[in-house]
Amino acid sequence: MVKIGNITLGNFPLLLAPMEDVSDPPFRAVCKEKGADLMYTEFISSEGLIRDAIKSRRKLDIFDYERPVGIQIFGGDEEPMAMAAQIVEATNPDLLDINYGCPVKKVVCKGAGSGILKDIPKMVKLTAAVVKATKLPVTVKTRLGWDDDTKNIEEVAERLQDVGIQALTIHGRTRTQMYKGHADWTLIGKVKNNPRIHIPIFGNGDICTPEQAIAAREKYGVDGVMIGRAAIGYPWIFNEIKHFMQTGEHLPPPSVLERVEVCKKHLQHSVQWKGDVVGILEMRRHYTNYLKGLPHIKEFRQQLVTCSTLAAVEDVLDAIALHYKDHIIERTSPLTDQSLLPAKNEVADCNVYG
């Protein structure tokens, strides 16, 4: 059984990645319902928490039905990160995660996110300060290194474990890769199989199918996988992986009606948490993925992104369910070699399995 501190996660947990502007409570609600074992908030600026910025504080919202749930923070300085850890602890999450993986320029230029991969001693000191500041289990999400010449994840894993982190998630790309190309799982496997490493190691990157999740476990021995883009508009990915691991068989793909019903549930959570205007507006980014694979959907989608009331959006979704009631969305064919690497034509569409 995989454990982080006193949190028991099962034999091969499936984690929902923290994704900015995606992994909010409404999205996490539908992912939890569809089988996610551990979820994280969007990443939160340590400086924003200290300044009491409204946007940062709002990201601290967690709910009992989400548990276990972790709050993720980022920053480049010890004192603000330690203070932020204490603020996070007061909200009573199950764990605290540090983001050392975000490749976005505005984060990196502050020496935060994956920017800290240029300065491993600073990363270690910052992590130690956070661990010391909180009683929560502290975990880390990071990348293989800054670039191909500095893939130092094996050293990073040992040193972060030595200062007290209790789990490590590794995205199989460098910062310079951003999200391009394929994730390289070889070094993730080396970290997991390092005899010095005793904390759980989770792999992240290009997990879009049940076959790929099984390959991650069997080829590289990771304790679980973190899923990001593949869950956007397709939270069924979690239960599909679990079912395939247990039975060797695929679950039937969700019908159009099922997709619409979950999309509506997501929308309703969004409105409840954010209010009508913002909830409807920010939900628009999800419709394309929920409706992916439906032919001639452009006109309906245009209606969805112009509706201004909850009732109007639900009416359009109901019309979609009725119009496509007999349509079956084909599941992406499994990779014949069971590789973790998606086929070339899947790379750009790795955000949806289905």
**Residue 175 assigned to a binding site:** no
Alpha-helix residue ranges (DSSP H) falling in the chain: 25-33, 46-50, 54-58, 78-90, 105-108, 120-133, 153-162, 186-192, 210-220, 237-247, 256-274, 276-283, 287-290, 298-304, 310-323
Kindly give, in sequence order, each residue whose CB lies less than 8 Å from that of residue 316, ignoring residues fewer than 6 positions away: 300, 303, 304, 307
List the one residue out of 36, 31, 56 whose CA is nearest residue 242: 36
Closest by CA to 136, choosing from 202, 196, 87, 78, is: 87
Separation between Cα atoms, residue 207 and residue 50, nearest integer Å: 35
> Could you give the CA distance from residue 328 to residue 50 in angstroms, rounded to a whole number?
50
Q: Which of 102, 208, 263, 350 is catalytic?
A: 102
Residues with Cβ within 8 Å of 258's Cβ and at least 6 positions away in sequence, in order, are none
Non-local (6+) Cβ contacts of 212 within 8 A are: 206, 335, 338, 339, 340, 342
Q: Report whether 141 belongs to an annotated binding site.
A: yes
Structure tokens at 167: 């789990």
DSSP one-letter code for 178: T
**Residue 24 tokens, joined:** 């909010």
350 noted as active-site residue: no
112: tokens are 């935060």
72 is in an annotated binding site: yes
Q: Which residues are annotated as a binding site for FMN?
A: 72, 141, 171, 228-229
- Could you give the residue numbers annotated as active site? 102
